[in-house]
Amino acid sequence: MLYNNQKVSFIYLKPAITLLIWLSLLPIAGAEYIQESWERLLVVFAAMVLIPIGVPLLGIKWRSWYWLMVAAFCLSFLIDTPGTGFSDLLALPYLILSASLAITAAVDMMAFSRFNLLELVRVFALGYWATGAFWALCSLAGFQPWDFDPVIVTLTAAHFHVAGFVFATAGYKLLQFNNNRSNRFLGLGLIAGMPLVAFGITASKLGMPSWIESGSGLFFVMLALLLGYQHVKMAFHQQINSISRWCWGISSICLFAGMCMAAMYALRFYYPMPFFQIPNMKIWHGSINAIGFGWLVLIGWNAQTRIPALQSPRHLPV
């Protein structure tokens, strides 16, 4: 019993420390920075807290020297120096790291003939991380693809880290533990969902019909709700440990709240509501998804995967 308690404590030590470090940055940043640049703090949160938990869940060892790249990346957002190139240089290793892991996973999948849905979701999860790192570098460099507003560029980086990497990682673990029809549909949807949302937003920017963005946004909302529902089903199963059960239950509630906001934002062209605009969405929707869902769902999978006595997938719900 003592051994199990020590093991559980060790599992949560690093995630708790990184979360506390991120929280300690908030008073240093100050109220004005938080209000104006919350999207930057969300990117830092994703890199500092979510990525180190999620990468091992994809079967990749998190090496100690990775922390140097993450630290440099986070520092680049906190001391951004436009025009000097210094912050861009600090963030570049993080992009190289994420891209190299994604490319390596894709090459391995094709080279060893492991071309199946599970491996494809894993590759896409890493690819979403690399895409988020690329958009983060664009934000630091002041590069605005298709003339998107700088806030949108940074939010895209945060979105690919959370709605891309975290959602796909959670979908990967669901599929790995229970390869049923619902999880296979979810896996396919998570592969297509982020590109569809990106296309929809870009289409609106280029003057195409607004229903494209609304439709792609609502499709992704439905996928996210299915992701939450599958975790709720897992949480009620007797083979799941109590820590994972609580994490998945609370995270699914947060996901539902965040997706209701996303649905309202997707429908803004037809039912405009002043609250559901970027300044509020980046704070409330972004925080609920990243912290309320992203952190808790990965903590739950971390516990379920690393506690041997409770990780058997044989009796999971269909």
Residue range 48-71: average pLDDT? 92
Torsion of CA 146, 147, 150, 151, to 10 degrees: -70
Picking from 254, 239, 230, the residue whose alpha carbon sits closest to that of residue 303 is 239
Taking the alpha carbons at both ends of the chain, their separation in whole angstroms is 31
**Predicted TM-score (pTM) of this structure:** 0.89
Q: What pLDDT is attached to residue 11?
A: 56
Instruction: Compute the distance between CA of residue 213 and CA of residue 197 in angstroms, rounded to an integer.
Output: 7
Q: What percent of the chain has pLDDT over 90?
A: 46
At 93, the pLDDT band (50, 70, 90 cuts) reads very high
Q: Is the pLDDT of residue 100 over 90?
A: yes
pLDDT, residue 28, reads: 81
pLDDT value of position 135? 93
| Closest of 234, 229, 259 to residue 244, by C-alpha | 234
User: Is the pLDDT assigned to residue 22 strictly greater than 90?
Assistant: no
Instruction: For residue 14, name the pLDDT band (cuts at 50, 70, 90).
Output: confident
In the predicted model, is pLDDT for residue 311 greater than 80? Answer: no
Q: At residue 112, does pLDDT exceed 80? A: no
The full length of the chain comes to 318
Q: How confident is the model over 180-207, as a mean pLDDT?
A: 87
Per-residue pLDDT of 117-140, as tens digits, reads 999 999 999 999 999 999 999 988
User: Which single residue is written with the structure tokens 């990497």?
Assistant: 165
Which residue in 316, 6, 273, 274 sits closest to 173, CA to CA? 316
* Structure confidence by residue, pLDDT tens digits, 199-233: 888 888 887 888 888 898 899 999 999 999 999 98
> Which range, 107-111, 147-151, 228-232, is most confident?
228-232
pLDDT of 302 higher than 70: yes
pLDDT of the residue at 315: 40
Rounded alpha-carbon distances, angstroms, from residue 304 to 8, 205, 234? 10, 42, 11
Say which amino acid occupies 179: N
Amino acid at 264: M
CB atoms within 10 A of CB 210: 16
Query: Which pLDDT value is given to residue 238?
Result: 67
Does the pLDDT value for residue 318 go beyond 60?
Answer: no
Model confidence band, residue 278 (pLDDT cutoffs 50, 70, 90): confident
Asked if pLDDT for residue 275 goes beyond 50, the answer is yes
Instruction: Report the pLDDT averaged over residues 1-12.
Output: 48
Q: Is residue 264 pLDDT above 50, yes or no?
A: yes
- Give dist(CA 282, CA 155) in Å, integer: 7
% of the chain exceeding 70 in pLDDT:
90
pLDDT given at position 127: 95
